[in-house]
Amino acid sequence: MELAKRKIVTIVAESVLENLICERILELGATGYTVIESRGHGSLGRNAGEIPGSNIRIETIVKQEVAEVILDAISKEFFDKYSIICFMSDTLVLREAKY
């Protein structure tokens, strides 16, 4: 079994941003993503869950270079206006050509 190194980029954001972020990460080179409804508690006084509907957690598996581009773009475009967090972590994948 051959495992290849990739990164998981995880973005937790207000649900109104779903389409916008998903389109953006595809533009930046991701080949796919998974969206999960979520809820939780953050450091900001302003709760992202204020608008009816839960938060979303978007995950995408990408190469290191793409992951960095995504983190950079998300932080520049969304951090100052919305409740959103974003991080990357290591993972090992099968079928590396998919990512």
- Is position 41 an interface residue for another protein (rule: CB under 8 A)? no
> 34: how many CB neighbours lie within 10 A of its CB?
11
Q: Which is nearer to another protein, 17 or 67 (CB)?
A: 17
Encoded tokens for 72: 């950079």
- Is position 76 an interface residue for another protein (rule: CB under 8 A)? no
Encoded tokens for 97: 């050509």
E-strand stretches of 42-98: 55-62, 84-93
Q: Which is nearer to another protein, 2 or 52 (CB)?
A: 52
Q: Which is nearer to another protein, 32 or 53 (CB)?
A: 53
The residue within the footprint of another protein, chosen from 20, 26, 36, 44 (CB under 8 A), is 20
90: left (phi > 0), else alpha (psi -120 to 50), else beta? Answer: beta
> 71: how many CB neighbours lie within 10 A of its CB?
17
Q: Which is nearer to another protein, 20 or 26 (CB)?
A: 20
**Which positions touch another protein (CB under 8 A)?**
14, 16-17, 20, 46, 50-53, 77-78, 81-82
